């Protein structure tokens, strides 16, 4: 018996590479303030360019803003807004945004 193997074409959106964590395995992060945040306008332009290209999923992959940072709520909101935007344009978003 052969199991079915499925594949869902995806694209990765990165709201920011800023991350307070220093995981030993990670080469993704930058120090806080070194990575500009992806704007919703930039994200919309990217996502619209992906429509009709067979992309189904949008992975929102981000560094993590420290829980005590004044930017934490803005970071959560940006992730939420990016997911809403992806849905509104017909994509299925999912996240990998630090160890939350």
**What per-residue confidence (pLDDT) applies to 80?**
95
Q: What is the pTM assigned to this prediction?
A: 0.87
- pLDDT below 50 — which residues of the chain? none
Q: Determine the pLDDT at residue 97.
A: 85
CA-nearest of 94, 79, 96, 10 to 50 is 10
Please give the pLDDT value at position 1: 72
Contact 57, 16 (CB under 8 A): no
Q: Given this model, what pLDDT does residue 99 score? A: 60
């Amino acid at each position: 018996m052969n199991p079915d193997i499925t594949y869902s074409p995806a694209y990765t959106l990165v709201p920011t590479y800023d991350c307070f964590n220093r995981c030993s395995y990670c080469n993704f992060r930058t120090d806080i303030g070194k990575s500009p945040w992806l704007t919703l306008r930039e994200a919309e332009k990217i996502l619209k360019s992906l429509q009709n290209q067979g992309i189904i999923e949008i992975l929102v992959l981000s560094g993590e803003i420290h829980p005590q940072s004044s930017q934490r709520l803005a970071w959560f909101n940006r992730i939420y807004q990016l997911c809403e935007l992806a849905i509104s344009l017909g994509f299925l978003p999912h996240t990998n945004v630090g160890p939350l």
